[in-house]
Structure 1
Amino acid sequence: MALRILSLNVWGGKLHAPLIPYLVEANADVLCLQEVVRSPETTSDWLLYRDRDVELPQRANLFDEIRAALPDHDGYFCPTSRGELHDGNRMVHAEFGLATFVRKSLPVISQALTFVHGEFSPDGWGEHPRARNAHCLRIFDYEGGSSITIAQMHGLRAENGKGDTPERQAQADALVQLIGRVWPGNERLVVCGDFNLLPDSDTFTILGNLGLADLVTGRGHTDTRTSYYGKPGRFADYMLATPDVEVVGFDVVAQPEVSDHRALLLDLR
């Protein structure tokens, strides 16, 4: 059986109109999503995030909207923090983090979640660089009679760029430890997400010790951003696989544009 994995930083749902239909049409078995928002305190569609000179519309209950659009999937929401967003003239609490959706026909037989940088912040978004987490799960394919381990991470964002730092070294080590809690070591492994790193980062050497190789750079892709991202440095998102993953197809999706990040789409056996 072919398996489809999608990884995407959804940008808080800013491009909500094309985003939801794309997630449905992509028909992925596993969706690894970063920058997902949930705010049970409001029924408003939109909230506003403000931080110094940054203002960014956030879809108030993006997790619930994606879950409703994907009724054949189980959803796992993994927040890093709870802070305040603007709902008109009032402030409401919202959670921010990762979401993983898995087709219900593929049972999750093991999973683990941890912070790869910082810790959960219940009373605000936290100081920069803000906390980041990673989610790792193992699913079983009844038709194929085998299991696969999949991990996603949203890497820390540093104000001095995407170069290697001690914090990013620690982040990579924490990710490897998380994977080791779930992955038995003798089956297929896929790791993906918005790493906020350059392709020459030591993180890829560390992950390479698990047998992982990056499909983005390895297949000649040079851009994981869309036209909504105007800064230099077009790498942020990666998808890595072990040699036993039979890649049927892999794409860094240029169209439609549903975020300031491109979706990564892997078909495998």
Structure 2
Amino acid sequence: MEIMCLNGWGGKLHEALVPYVAESAPDVLCLQEVVHSPISEKDWLTYRDGDHILPQRANFFRDVARALPEHTATFCPAAQGVLWDEDQSFPSQWGLATFVHKSIPIIGQVQGFVHKGYSPVGYGDHPRSRSAHGIRVYDYNSDRCISVTHMHGLRDLNGKMDTPERAEQAQRLLALSRHISEPGDLRIVCGDFNVEPHSETLEILGAAGLSELVTGRGFTSTRNTQYKKSGKFADYMLISDADAVQEFNVVYNPEVSDHCPLVLTI
């Protein structure tokens, strides 16, 4: 089974990302920073937050779902705000999504918030609402159940330092993973955590028996040349049984986002 985790950057590099996902077609794709604007037929809209202006693929969720027609797609919104086409605004949901190949039985799901709750009118003040999604599947190749839970960790305008909110976020993520898992399951937790490698978040997850694979396998960054700021880590993948890993890779090329895809084969 192949599991991919990726922050899609709102589909900014759509022309590279969609063909990459279609060709890779992982059994499970955990995708963060997903845009869903169901009443708009526009391909592109613009996100505006003061001086922060970013092009957004208006129906990024639809685009990826179409690229993976043999997958079951689930969108998990964290908030609904507006995106812009010049002076016209469109309601747009923002969150994360999970795609599971239809040959793999989904035998359990959990969806919840790791920071704040759903923001129905506007994206909210920073640090904004953050959701998580977990699935439990049966893997016939290994004859066992596997749970995969991912989140998009909160963004703090002051940086990626430890905060009480991030510690609480890690505990909520763990609780969701435990809720969807049963004894004997192989457990995987992943996402764009927005923290550094020596963070309290990873200490909390490690103390729960999860092995962190990015730095544990010697990778020195989860960012690529699209990312111009300092601090080259954001994304992580952890597993309850490191011996189950057949292969793990941080994909630096092609560049499909300012985050690198994390790809695990178990």
Question: What is the TM-score normalised by the length of structure 1?
Answer: 0.97
Partner of 1:207: 205
The equivalent residue for 1:99 is 97
Deviation per residue, 1:55-113 (Å, 9 max, x gap): 10000111011111101100000000000000232000000000000000111101111
CA–CA distance in structure 2, aligned partners of residues 144 and 165 of structure 1:
39
Answer yes or no: is the 8 Å Cα contact 2:211–2:242 preserved in 1.
no
Aligned to 1:162: 160
Q: 3-state DSSP class of the match of 1:218?
A: coil
Aligned to 1:22: 20
Deviation for aligned residue 1:245: 5.0
Deviations 1:18-53 (A, max 9, x none): 000000111200000000001012101000001111
User: Is 1:149 paired with 2:153?
Assistant: no
- Read off the aligned partner of 1:6 and give its amino acid letter: M
- Tell me what 1:193 maps to: 191
The separation in 2 between residues aligned to 1:25 and 1:69, in whole angstroms, is: 9
The answer to whether the Cα contact below 8 Å between 1:39 and 1:94 also exists between their aligned partners in 2 is: yes
8 A Cα contact 2:188 2:237, kept in partner: yes
Asked if structure 1 preserves the Cα contact closer than 8 Å seen for 2:177 and 2:187, the reply is no
Q: In structure 2, how many angstroms separate the alpha carbons of the residues matched to 1:226 and 1:45?
A: 25
Q: Secondary structure at the match of 2:246?
A: strand
- What amino acid is aligned across from residue 115 of structure 2 in structure 1? H
**Is 2:177–2:189's contact at 8 Å kept on the other side of the alignment?**
no
In structure 1, stretches of 5+ residues that fail to align are: none
- What percentage of aligned pairs have identical amino acids? 52
AA at the equivalent of 1:161: G
The amino acid of 1:150's aligned partner reads V
For residues 72 and 245 of structure 1, the distance between their equivalents in structure 2, rounded to whole angstroms, comes to 29
- State the TM-score, normalizing by the size of structure 2: 0.98
Give ranges in structure 2 of 5+ residues lacking alignment. Answer: none
Distance in 2 between residues matched to 1:196 and 1:183, nearest whole Å: 25
- State how far apart, in whole Å, the 1-side matches of 2:48 and 2:152 are: 20
The match for 1:78 is 76
The one-character-per-residue Cα deviations of 1:194-242 (angstroms, maximum 9, x if unpaired) are: 0000111111121123310110000111111111111110000001111
- Give aligned pairs, total: 266
Does structure 2 conserve the Cα–Cα contact (< 8 Å) formed by 1:187 and 1:244?
Answer: no
RMSD between aligned alpha carbons? 1.0
Runs ≥4 residues deviating over 4 A: none
Number of the residue aligned with 2:169: 171
Q: How far apart are the structure 1 equivalents of 2:5 and 2:261? A: 6
C-alpha deviation, 1:244, in angstroms: 5.6
Give the residue type in structure 1 aligned to 2:167: Q
Report the CA distance shift for 1:139/1:47 in structure 2 as closer, same or farther (over 3 A): same
Which residue in the other structure is 1:225 paired with? 223
Deviations 1:153-188 (A, max 9, x none): 100000111011000011011111111211113221
Q: Which amino acid aligns with 2:180?
A: V
Q: Which residue of 2 aligns with 1:240?
A: 238
